[in-house]
């Protein structure tokens, strides 16, 4: 993580559920970047939502980060019958000055509408699974229409061969002298989404950042959109057991 920060990554995507908050602090200290130069994110875990301990967990995370604010606070999943209460706590933390931006993760349209109807506050950001095999067009369109920034996780579809073996993707990679992964990252960026990428090795971290010297054409963007086969690779927030997440 420290190497990635030094190479140029600025957004750190963390969740209390990962148990990695202290490691994030260590990585920031080891890097050559100041806290103010980074966009620090954390999410409320499902366990804490069920136990109604959102504030306790949040301030423990702040202590582990050794900071007095985060740039973005989300809940990790819309835990049934609890997520509205969690959202209200997140709103309070922003009002108190501990959080700059508030958002959610894994929310479908009906979750977003419920949050707004119950509180009058629409999330500024929604992080959800989105990639060429699962474009989630209806949800993407809804977020765009309502000014909700999209963060895409599993953004490269875990390099699924159903995507990487396509002649279309190989042709684009050859044309721009990039990898298929870089083509997909660029597709997200040109569509206004923030792709949440992660790489352990320096070579891959550098490749993930090397996507700002070319532009896909409108036809190429549409061609990648058309790859969609509605193949979800992670959990469905409307049909999953939140107790194991």
Sorted by sequence, the CB contacts under 8 Å of residue 222 that are 6+ apart come out as none
Interval 27-60: pLDDT, tens: 999 999 999 999 999 999 999 999 999 999 999 9
Interval 113-149: pLDDT, tens: 999 999 999 999 999 999 999 999 999 999 999 999 9
Contact criterion met (CB below 8 Å) for 130 and 231: no
3-state class of 216 per DSSP?
coil
Interval 61-78: pLDDT, tens: 999 999 999 999 999 999
Q: Kindly list the distances between the CA atom of residue 174 and the CA atoms of 167, 215, 222, in Å, as whole numbers in the listed order.
A: 10, 14, 18
Is 176 assigned a catalytic role?
no
- The per-residue pLDDT for 245 is 87
Do you know the residue count of the chain?
A: 245
Interval 215-226: pLDDT, tens: 999 999 999 999
Contact criterion met (CB below 8 Å) for 160 and 129: no
């Amino acid at each position: 993580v420290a190497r990635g920060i030094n190479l140029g990554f600025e957004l750190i995507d963390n969740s209390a559920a990962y148990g990695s908050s202290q490691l994030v602090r260590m990585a920031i200290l080891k890097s050559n970047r100041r806290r103010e130069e980074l966009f620090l994110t954390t999410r409320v875990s499902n366990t804490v939502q069920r136990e109604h301990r959102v504030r306790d967990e949040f301030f423990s995370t702040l202590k582990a980060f050794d900071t007095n604010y985060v740039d973005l606070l989300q809940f990790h999943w819309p835990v049934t019958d609890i997520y509205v209460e969690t959202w209200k706590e997140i709103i309070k933390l922003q009002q108190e000055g501990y959080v700059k931006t508030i958002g959610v993760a894994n929310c479908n349209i009906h979750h977003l509408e419920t949050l707004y109807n119950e509180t009058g506050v629409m999330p500024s950001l929604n992080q959800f699974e989105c990639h060429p095999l699962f474009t989630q067009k209806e949800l993407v369109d809804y977020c765009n229409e309502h000014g909700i920034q999209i963060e895409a996780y599993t953004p490269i579809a875990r390099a699924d061969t159903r995507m990487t073996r396509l002649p279309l993707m190989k042709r684009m990679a050859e044309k721009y002298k990039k990898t298929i992964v870089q083509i997909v990252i660029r597709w997200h960026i040109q569509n206004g989404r923030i792709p949440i990428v992660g790489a352990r090795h320096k070579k891959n971290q550098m490749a993930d950042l090397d996507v700002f010297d070319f532009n896909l054409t409108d036809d190429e963007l549409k061609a990648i959109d058309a790859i969609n086969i509605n193949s979800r690779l992670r959990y469905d927030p409307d049909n999953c057991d939140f107790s194991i997440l």
